[in-house]
Structure 1
Amino acid sequence: MIDRIAASEVFLASVELGSISAAAERLDMSRAMASRYVAAVETWAGVRLLHRSTRHLSLTGAGEQLLPTLKTLVALSDRVAWPGIAQSAEPCGPLRVSLSVIAAQSLMGEAFASFMARYPRVQLELLATNERVNLIEERIDLAIRITNELDPQLICRPLGQCHSVLCAAPGYLAVHGHPSHPEQLAQHQCLTYTHFGPRQWTLYRDDEVCQVTVSGGLKTNEATLLMEALRWQGGIGMLPRFAVAPLLASGELEAVLPEWAPKPLGMHALYSTRQHMPLALRALIDHLADVLAGSAGAGSYRTASAVEEGVT
């Protein structure tokens, strides 16, 4: 459910500044999110509240009538003090965090454990899912996503990069052979991970690029299932290096075409707005950035749409 106070603040700022884009900039959120808040206010009112043009917006008659109510709502909210949360100088309170199952199992456990040891008054609720949840509707404070396709409605802080590797069990390679070039993957059983896209793998070696269409008997959205299938000599798969590192070190899996690599995926902390950001949320994002600082790409805050456009 959309926060009515936040939506009212966006609406009032849009009216004051004459532009939803200007309101988004002042309130430090994406234009798409600001537009969604304004649309929500009109939905609640059940009437059109703004006249919009390419250069300016103004209130309708109904908007003029509703404006004092929205101002009162925002003014009252500013007087509310939440004991133990807003007045605390130490991060505290609940945080709901969404992340993929494989990241929860193989990457983030130590990071969250060290955060809880450092900030014992914060209560973390971790929601491990491979589905992309709606942060506002599901009341998610932070989403950790490993992807190069970002939601432009969200604010993004890059945390690092996720490098992937092709791998297979030694037993499979002993029977079917070691491919010496990506084009030979077309003759192998290639097990695919849904979140890495279609059955066309793009691999890079220095300035060379090779695209190959692969096929196999298994496609799954769960990386742990894919790893198990690889361990049981099911074929060749592409998985995050952090997930398969223990199996590569033990010899249960072996890197395939190690001189070739898929394009790295970005690791991102995503949230809906920096307006009234809880101290606990800011502390968690900073902590994750510090823990993952060894990965290339950790950086400053920006909108997800700016990341996709290459804006720094």
Structure 2
Amino acid sequence: MDRLTATRVFVTVVEQGSLTQAAERLDMSTAMVSRYLAAMEAWLGARLLHRTTRRLSLTEAGQSALASCRQLLDLSEDVAHQAGAARREPSGRLRITCSPSFAEAQLAPALIDFQRLHPQVAFSLTVADRSVDLAAEGIDLAVRITNSLEPTLITRPLGLCRSVLCASPGYLAERGRPETLQALQAHRCLAHAFVSAAQYRFRHAGQIVELPITDVLSTNDAAVLRRAVLAGGGLAILPTYFVGEDLRSGRLIGLLPDYEPEPLGVHAVFLSRQHQPLALRLLVDFLAERFGGDTPPWDRVS
């Protein structure tokens, strides 16, 4: 049997979570999928999947093999992409999801700039402060800001999300500027319900430090949190991609520079690398170049 096809079958089974769904996606019979899996295990000399009537799970050998198999498929896709991309113009509609704050501050302008390069590409952008089910909602690409990703999803790092503890000048004039971590507990702490509720997390001297807080306001929307801080409601941890201009203009003041809120990764997330539209491949490359680097563009001092 063709080993490249067997590799693709193995990766698709892992991504889909069942032989039946993988067979549907690959337009194969379930029996053929089973034969390819058996061939993979025979070639590698190890069992790759635990199979029960209810679920599949990777063995230790399967977990080790998965990354290499994905690299092999990436390489084969890259060869085909490079051979044909020069002769094709990307087109079609891509369905994308992202958090509201990142979509407003960074992703929407990036998509418009991408369309200037490729005017035949259209976008449907869904903003949500939750992890959207890509398969159920027909999403081509999710941009997620997190340090915890599901291992079955395909991801590519795009950049780094740094945050800052900040407050308005008016609030600091009224309540004083905290000079120590412990002093924060005497202040009005505002929090993002999904990120910093119940505690603030900082990186200090190479260690993660957690400070329990009692928030006076929490919200699931970074824009609401920013507005509350600008209004003098208290101090909060906010991403620099969203409040960079506020910090540079003096509308917000960064606090405790020796205590950096824990950075998060910005990731492109999609279901599969197989048969990706050219527009999607080019968009992910574009976003990786735009948002990448040791210092994210929103943190660079021009």
TM-score (norm 1): 0.70
Instruction: Name the structure 1 match of 2:106.
Output: 107
The code of the aligned residue for 1:248 comes to L
The corresponding residue for 1:26 is 8
Say which of 36, 47, 55 aligns to 2:47. 55
Q: Deviations over 1:144-181 (max 9, x none)?
A: 01111112221000001000000011111112211111
- Provide the C-alpha distance between the structure 2 equivalents of 1:203 and 1:139, rounded to a whole number of angstroms: 36
Could you tell me how far apart the structure 1 residues matched to 2:10 and 2:264 are? 26
Sort the Cα spacing of 1:37 and 1:186 in 2 relative to 1 into closer, same or farther, 3 A: farther
Q: What is the CA-CA distance between 1:131 and the residue it aligns to?
A: 1.9
Name the structure 1 match of 2:292: 293
The residue type equivalent to 1:163 in the other structure is: R
Q: Deviations over 1:61-119 (max 9, x none)?
A: xxxxxxxxxxxxxxxxxxxxxxxxx9x71111110010110011111222111100000
Distance 2:293 2:48 in 1: 46
Instruction: Give distance in 2, aligned partners of 1:26 and 1:157.
Output: 19
* Corresponding letter in the other structure for 1:257: L
| Counterpart amino acid of residue 130 in structure 1 | D
The match for 1:73 is none
Q: Is the 8 A contact 1:24 1:30 kept in 2?
A: no
Matches within 5 A, 1:148-297: 148-295=147-294
Following superposition, the deviation at residue 206 of structure 1 comes to 2.9
User: How big is the alpha-carbon RMSD for the aligned residues of Structure 1 and Structure 2?
Assistant: 3.1
Change (3 A) 1:144 1:28: farther
Please state whether the residue corresponding to 2:47 is helix, strand or coil: coil
Equivalenced residue count is 247
Q: What amino acid does structure 1 have at the position aligned with 2:139?
A: I
Structure 2 contact 15–152 (Cα < 8 Å) conserved = yes
Q: Distance in 2 between matches of 1:295 and 1:128?
A: 27
Q: Given residue 35 of structure 1, which amino acid in structure 2 is its aligned partner?
A: G
Secondary structure, in 3 states, of the residue corresponding to 1:281?
A: helix
Equivalent position to 2:17, from 11, 32, 35 = 35
Partners of 1:162 and 1:240 within 8 A in 2: yes
Tell me how far 1:208 sits from its aligned partner: 5.0
C-alpha separation between the residues in 1 aligned to 2:267 and 2:179? 34
The separation in 2 between residues aligned to 1:223 and 1:132, in whole angstroms, is 16
- Shift in Å at residue 124 of structure 1? 1.1
CA contact (8 A) 2:91 2:121 kept: yes
Q: Distance in 2 between matches of 1:106 and 1:277?
A: 27
Q: Contact 1:164/1:262 (CA < 8 Å) preserved in 2? A: yes
SS across alignment from 2:238: strand
After superposing the two structures, state which structure 1 stretch, 169-178 or 27-36, moved more.
27-36
- Corresponding residue for residue 94 of structure 1: 93
One-letter amino acid of the structure 2 residue matched with residue 273 of structure 1: S
User: Displacement of 1:125 after TM fit?
Assistant: 1.1
Amino acid aligned to 1:261: E
Shift in CA distance, 27/293, structure 1 to aligned 2, threshold 3 Å: farther
The unaligned stretches of length 5 or more in structure 1 are 1-15, 43-47, 58-85, 298-312
Residue-by-residue CA offset, 1:112-139 (whole Å, 9 max, x unaligned): 1110000011111111111211101100
Instruction: Rate the CA distance shift 1:17–1:134 in 2: closer, same or farther, 3 A.
Output: farther
Sort the Cα spacing of 1:132 and 1:263 in 2 relative to 1 into closer, same or farther, 3 A. Answer: same
What corresponds to 2:66 in structure 1? none
Letter of the structure 2 residue corresponding to residue 187 of structure 1? A
Tell me whether 31-40 or 253-262 shows the greater mean CA deviation.
31-40
In the alignment, the residues of structure 2 paired with residue 25 and residue 111 of structure 1 have an alpha-carbon distance, to the nearest angstrom, of: 34
Deviations 1:249-269 (A, max 9, x none): 222211111221011100000
1:138 to 2:130 alignment? no
- Counterpart secondary structure, 1:196: coil
1:41 and 1:272 map into 2 onto residues whose CA distance is 15
Measure, in 2, the Cα distance between the counterparts of 1:153 and 1:38.
17
CA distance in 2, matches of 1:283, 1:35: 28
State, as a whole percentage, how many aligned pairs show the same letter.
38
Does the aligned pair in 2 maintain the 1:188–1:216 contact within 8 Å? no
Matched letter for residue 279 of structure 2: A
> 1-side partners of 2:148 and 2:273: how far apart?
21
